[in-house]
Structure 1
């Protein structure tokens, strides 16, 4: 009977899938791997974490590679021939009798070899670390893949002065000053972008005073370099497979493997904003990161190669230096082309800046910063990027006939932006999803880049904090810390000087020992659990934007919950808009537009650029503080709601906000997202335009109407093309009609149904397109 079972079972076993796989632990002299058998025959590490053999990179194209066995899509960490794949028929890898490991193409030519020659007894093995090693008969290492990295470092694999990571045109290497850098090294232009050239290496905690030029990633996710670069993975600790990869988009990222499903998550990245990577959109191209990564060509230019953004844009005109009067400038708001400045002039007017460019034939554009009057004459348009946070504008030099054709001269322009794709960089779309990749990477990867991990230990050693909160301490920086209740009580003189109050608490003025003036908000009716409060503070504390009040710290001792902010010594917006405002305090139109734009920028930062999205939940004039220069500082976002970037709505235990500014979703018990802030902003915007407290009741022709009816009235007025009847009468007609029309249009769109409301980023861009610097009667009033 047993013999009969054997006869039946053995043939079945021979056709089971695993019978086709023949992993090898070693290649000996004279043995080969054949490309046709790439699914059956390959090297494997003793722990089975890594495999080595032929890897399919395209139709009938293969590389000789090492990959993570248990990862989705078999993530490659090393390739012998990344730029010159071999044929899918007839190619092979052989450890020949001379002891040389040779990759041969179908015609027998050597595509790559290890350049070893130790003769008989030579072996090739794949170690548990992912290192492919060739040894002679005595066991001496002759060659190893760790000596020749491609785009990835594995734990315990050193990066030295003689090695570098390369991905397309991007390089990670030790420069001549012994500093580890990222560089775009294109066919015509080279440009270092990390660490930022705007700062010295010492400013960012690195040093050039070292001669070893060594960097290594350990088995716990700690990457340490001889130039004092010291980073840790967000999930730092043993037992996780990791890799440090220079990705095809030029960003350096650390990945951690989820053993349960084979997926990767980003646990650190060098570049928080992708447009800080140089060369992504090529020469003359403009990079935009929000709301998703985009490349575009400026007016007068077109994409050079529709399949490859790295080749940039080409001009649709030829320069004629003999007739400078034939050129004009087209404004690209809050756009710059970093570097390659021919001349930098300080404290000059925009007119003088443009004239300088017209007088220089090689000048292609100027970047001008209004506040400082700084003029940058550009001869090469490279590293272009557009950001609502850039404090200047670019003026590109074009023939007059091309400038006149641009519709962008009108307010609220519409431009077609061409999305970059992974195929443009020689990658398979099946493996990369460009847009979601960057959003996911930006969320999970920026944790360690922004802050250090030293002060959390100090705090933890002094306070009895649950272990689950340690991650929050790792995020604390010297500018954001925990205060003791006693410290804040003394700073405020036992909470003596009240400067404001709201539904969530009372605000007091205080002075710290270092003489910094602070605003301390003593919270009331807080439903946060202790751990939730700490987690939210660790996120809020890293928020830093010119239009947001800087949060310096917090206190959490039992029932005492306090937030510590910078002190803004002017008053809030409502004091300058409503009631009996003197002529001296009444806001001019230029100030109103500036406040509307600044508020939009601040909210856009919270909604779109933070590590985790932040919904303010209480946007109103009382929370819009003004500096002495009438710059906006949005306050009271310390109790805002945090949202993961992949979530579509938030969970609330109770309603938040102020009556009159709250979106209908609150009352309808609908899902809450950032659009509630957009609605509130729309109400505030109407109040800025009209100078009236719309949130507390509206009168039209002597009768009180609801807000939705008032919006319909505004739509009818807007349809006439003349909005002067809704502008604050105290301005006596001194306003910019074009800006006013756009502000009313935006306000109305903010008060529509949730799905029809714009994003704050779109609002900021609409206002920037109308931020006219030319003289206007409104500005001379």
Structure 2
């Protein structure tokens, strides 16, 4: 049952209330477009919500208690005399309330915009629902860096789901799937750069708005229009339960909604829509199916995905075969991506790696192989030019799944083919291909390709050389993450001649590749005697790409020789420009602090995997030609599932002085260890000296107290006492001669002290640190 539409209140005064038992109890906007009151999806579950009055299904746009419905008896919303609006359950338990406690609050009303507001006698807004949206954005409702849209858990529910729209730490508006197990950004296209996607991350304001004409404008340059753009139409932008972002327009004659824009034209590209192992296919609407040998985990919830109908331990043996599913791929979790390989080489690499669950192979002018450790986000489409090969036990008998019937009905695809673990890629079960056709087809394609190659080279060299743009494009394509031979890297480094630095994980040498790229080659030390550390790093760095993280070009693994190939960063590490005579100025220090925070926030919150660095220190923060930071050395990093098994480390990692107390206390290790290390770094940047490697005896006689804890404790006292900016002068690096921003210095010190709190629960997240520093970024005045 849902609330009646009759109107009993235009506004509420202090002392008024709305009762769930009186169905006419509601507040309506002056133009009757929106109603606010109790809304029900069942017989005994009610939400305090705002909805479109004239839509047929009374479409809800805002919910106060989305994860805590109240009882149909005794529940009420009261506008208390202290200025707060409070929702209470049948037992008077407070379920939700506004953060207003002022006698100046005089009225509660719903504006024609759909905004529930609390105002003072002058009409000034003291609280508004627009500041805390749920899954819907209305016209002229500001969308800022502090807000986000979060989908409902499922259709017909108001519970908080996993699909989100918000500004990432790189200032780009993104769609992100964020569950307890994984966090994945899937729009804009994660395979493209920010600029290829038509966005920019140079927008500290981070604000967006949908206007009443149906135009959406964002500070990251995202712009789109509703297909029925114009005045006089009621619209909403909703983060839907299926992970797609859509603009809806209300048809007045029917009370129904038309979709007038959507972020993803192919819903199957929404990551994690169908869960692990499952495949999303158009039949013709998006449908989830399990591949042969797998079955649905929960018949009522496809997000739970599919499970194997066999013992996965059997995949570690060589008695396996591959199930070929055409026009299909699984996104993410690639062990490696390799160009210019044959099908046989690709299949063999999966056969020999016990972590491999399948591989994707496609011919795009050359063989392209993706070996996968997980089968997530399955997607099938007739126009997708690739085949996924799923590793299954050799004795497993499979049946034709629904996916092939769906594909055959749309494009006439043939049945699934099981490829045995045999030498020939043409050794099919139920062989239907005649060799004469294969040879004929190959000869024709080869001849055509030869013609294009010859013609291409003639065009390139007819003007005495290769155009710079073509050469740059070639280098970009050929420079993807790949495996190098030991001889290549030995030659590139001149037999490991020029050493750039060394640490616990190995020694770094400067080198020049055959394509003239300058690189840093890290030769891993004896501590990497096992596969665990090495493959943890390879798995991680092969997927990571961020402007504040060192780019990794490839790796080498020959016998006991293990090396990693990084981009060369011109100005080397931060410690060389902080503790020596050639030190950074204040603006550069603040830019380094902000960029480092952005890089860590990406690792913690936006990366395809949840990554903990575990060794944040000045030596692992490199500076490029413009002295912008790039975080390096993921040799001590470990992938971890949020709140799941494997989230605790078994060995102490990191550098003394930058390690959080939980390492010594044997507490579970979370991303807060990186927050601690970051706090130490920015305090050292402010001080200009190390605070991480010596002990002091403080004025109270505390012996063997670390300089860091002493500094944090004393600084807290100074901040509490206040006294102008004198306390800043006594803390900030004296070599700057007072040329620094007081506001920024205070922000960095306060943030650093919070980050190094011994109680990890009191430390901020890196995402919140980025927001704090961005808000203070423009305060760049330098005092002399």
TM-score, normalised by the number of residues in structure 1: 0.50
Aligned-partner Cα distance in 2 for 1:199–1:84: 40
Structure 2 residue 282 is matched with structure 1 residue 289: yes
Paired position in structure 2 for 1:389: 383
User: Contact 2:52–2:60 (CA<8 Å) still a contact in 1?
Assistant: yes
Paired position in structure 2 for 1:24: 9
Q: Between Structure 1 and Structure 2, how many residues are aligned?
A: 413
Classify the secondary structure of the residue corresponding to 1:357. helix
Paired position in structure 2 for 1:308: 301
- Deviations 1:349-374, CA, capped at 9 Å, x for gaps: 22222222222222111111134211
User: Contact 1:246–1:253 (CA<8 Å) still a contact in 2?
Assistant: yes
Aligned-partner Cα distance in 1 for 2:60–2:405: 32
User: Contact 1:97–1:120 (CA<8 Å) still a contact in 2?
Assistant: no
Pairing partner for 1:214 from 185, 201, 207: 207
Shift of 1:629: 9.1
- Deviations 1:91-150, CA, capped at 9 Å, x for gaps: 111111211111111121111111211136531110010000012344332210100000
Aligned-partner Cα distance in 1 for 2:404–2:150: 32
Paired position in structure 1 for 2:48: 64
Classify the secondary structure of the residue corresponding to 1:204. coil
* Structure 1 gap segments, 5+ residues each: 1-17, 420-438, 440-544, 546-586, 599-625, 632-781
Shift of 1:21: 2.9
Aligned-partner Cα distance in 2 for 1:89–1:82: 18
Aligned-partner Cα distance in 2 for 1:135–1:247: 31
Aligned-partner Cα distance in 2 for 1:187–1:332: 30
Structure 2 residue 394 is matched with structure 1 residue 400: yes
Paired position in structure 1 for 2:329: 336
User: What is the alpha-carbon root mean square deviation over aligned residues?
Assistant: 3.0
Paired position in structure 1 for 2:225: 232
Shift of 1:291: 1.8
Pairing partner for 1:82 from 66, 77, 102: 66
Aligned-partner Cα distance in 1 for 2:49–2:356: 47
User: Contact 2:19–2:76 (CA<8 Å) still a contact in 1?
Assistant: yes
Classify the secondary structure of the residue corresponding to 1:66. strand
- Deviations 1:30-49, CA, capped at 9 Å, x for gaps: 111111113x1210000111
Shift of 1:317: 2.4
Q: 1:330 to 1:322 in 2, by over 3 A?
A: closer
- Deviations 1:124-182, CA, capped at 9 Å, x for gaps: 11001000001234433221010000011000001110100000210000011111010
Q: 1:414 to 1:226 in 2, by over 3 A?
A: closer
User: Contact 2:315–2:392 (CA<8 Å) still a contact in 1?
Assistant: no
Aligned-partner Cα distance in 1 for 2:58–2:196: 40
Pairing partner for 1:589 from 437, 451, 468: 437
Shift of 1:338: 0.8
Indicate the larger mover: 326-335 or 209-218: 326-335
Aligned-partner Cα distance in 2 for 1:199–1:19: 49
Structure 2 residue 226 is matched with structure 1 residue 378: no
Structure 2 residue 215 is matched with structure 1 residue 367: no
User: Mapping of 1:423-442 within 5 angstroms?
Assistant: none
Classify the secondary structure of the residue corresponding to 1:206. coil
- Deviations 1:506-549, CA, capped at 9 Å, x for gaps: xxxxxxxxxxxxxxxxxxxxxxxxxxxxxxxxxxxxxxx9xxxx
Shift of 1:589: 2.8
Structure 2 residue 104 is matched with structure 1 residue 96: no
User: Mapping of 1:484-503 within 5 angstroms?
Assistant: none
Q: 1:134 to 1:212 in 2, by over 3 A?
A: same
Paired position in structure 1 for 2:138: 154
Aligned-partner Cα distance in 2 for 1:592–1:272: 38
Q: 1:230 to 1:414 in 2, by over 3 A?
A: closer
Shift of 1:19: 11
Shift of 1:416: 8.1
TM-score, normalised by the number of residues in structure 2: 0.50
Q: 1:590 to 1:150 in 2, by over 3 A?
A: same
Paired position in structure 2 for 1:141: 125
Aligned-partner Cα distance in 2 for 1:383–1:87: 38
User: Contact 1:94–1:103 (CA<8 Å) still a contact in 2?
Assistant: yes
Aligned-partner Cα distance in 1 for 2:311–2:67: 36
Classify the secondary structure of the residue corresponding to 2:318. helix
Classify the secondary structure of the residue corresponding to 1:254. strand
